[in-house]
Chains A and B, each alone.
Chain A
Amino acid sequence: EPEVTQTPSHQVTQMGQEVILRCVPISNHLYFYWYRQILGQKVEFLVSFYNNEISEKSEIFDDQFSVERPDGSNFTLKIRSTKLEDSAMYFCASSEEWGTEDYEQYFGPGTRLTVT
């Protein structure tokens, strides 16, 4: 069964450094998403991406964050200057066209980001 993959599984970085989290969505999917889950808290939506541009973003997704689909398979989340509070599990998800009965967001296993 197709699945969303994410690398690395765990990333440790120092405060102020840039990090890039990578995701490979399911190949025929059209919508791509990033979510985060701070330890012990709920999963929060960051951004959605469709047709090579950001579709929606939450208030969490400020200027420190950016997303990119650099080629036909990868989808990346960049944090320019990490802060301690960016430590979280980051989930990538992808989905087919909205409105079909088969619609669902498929989640990857996550990247645990630790900012020290």
Chain B
Amino acid sequence: AQSVTQPDIHITVSEGASLELRCNYSYGATPYLFWYVQSPGQGLQLLLKYFSGDTLVQGIKGFEAEFKRSQSSFNLRKPSVHWSDAAEYFCAVGLSGGGADGLTFGKGTHLIIQP
């Protein structure tokens, strides 16, 4: 079965600093990869996704992520964080076999922004 590891439970970053959130997955083939963000009291919003092609994908709110097959990683980055980026971030994988498959989520990384 596939699994997703987000090794950092909490990350604190100063406003304006760069950010990298780590995600590793375990799956026999190349899965579909997603990053979602959850603000307090809100649902999950898709930041970006990787299906195939260019391994560096751009998302909303200035986020990007790079798929590295050799490291089974899909790390999320942002060059300069804003206070509004404080939220919970989830990496997720979906099997490439069809839309009926549910996503497998990591445990999430809680991002704290220091002024």
Q: How many residues of B contact A (CB 8 A)?
A: 24
Residue of B34, B36, B102 near A58 (CB, 8 A) is B102
Q: Is B107 interfacial (CB 8 A cutoff)?
A: yes
B105 touches A43 (CB 8 A): yes
Contact between A109 and B102, CB atoms less than 8 A apart: no
Assess the B100–A41 pair: CB atoms within 8 A: no
- Cβ of A4 to closest chain B Cβ, rounded Å: 7
If the complex has contacts A30-B99, A33-B102, are A108 and B90 also in contact, measured as CB distance less than 8 A? no
| Residue pair A42, B102 in contact (C-beta under 8 Å) | no
Query: Which secondary structure dominates chain B's binding surface?
Result: loop
A75 within 8 A of B: no
CA distance A107 to B98 in the complex (A): 18
* Structural contact, B100 and A108, CB atoms closer than 8 A: no
What 1/0 flags go to B102-115 for Cβ under 8 Å of A? 11111110000000
A10 to B38, CA, bound (A): 17
The total number of A-B Cβ pairs within 8 Å is 64
The answer to the question of A56 belonging to the interface, with a C-beta cut-off of 8 Å to chain B, is yes
**Which positions 22-68 of chain A face chain B at CB distance < 8 Å?**
30-31, 33, 35, 41-48, 50, 55-56, 58
Residues of chain B touching chain A, judged by Cβ–Cβ distance below 8 Å, are 32, 34, 36, 41-46, 49, 51, 90, 92, 98-108
Can you sample 27 A-B contacts with CB below 8 Å? A4-B43, A31-B100, A33-B102, A35-B102, A35-B103, A41-B107, A43-B90, A43-B103, A44-B105, A45-B102, A45-B104, A46-B102, A48-B101, A48-B102, A56-B101, A91-B43, A95-B99, A97-B99, A98-B98, A98-B99, A99-B98, A101-B51, A103-B99, A105-B103, A107-B44, A109-B42, A110-B43
